[in-house]
Amino acid sequence: MSTIQIRCFARLLRDAFRPGEGDVLEEVFDPFDGAALNYLDAADLDGDKYLILCGAINRAHAAGRESGGELVHEGLWVEILDAMAADSRYQK
């Protein structure tokens, strides 16, 4: 992902978290917000928090499609969604 794409993805994802999910948002966005790095981190999320993140990712994807895709194209979303679903914490 380019720097522009990660920033666009991060904006869509941040906006997709629901009220009450701020603890997950803060944990995932800590490297991005706290250290100004160009990545998000879900490695240490427990299963419940990971599923909250998955819901936010799905909502971000839908919002991105509604807004015309912006800079995060569908092929990149497919990679993100596939990686999300391949994680052992993911439950359909």
pLDDT in tens, 1-47: 788 888 989 999 999 999 999 999 999 999 999 988 999 999 999 99
Its pTM stands at: 0.91
Question: pLDDT by residue (tens digit) across 49-75?
Answer: 999 999 999 999 999 888 765 667 888
Among 66, 52, 48, CA closest to 12: 66
Exposed, middle or buried, 2 (CB in 10 Å: 0-12/13-18/19+)?
Answer: exposed
List the structure tokens of 33: 């917000």
What single-letter amino acid sits at 17? Answer: F
pLDDT band at 86 (very low <50, low <70, confident <90, very high): very high
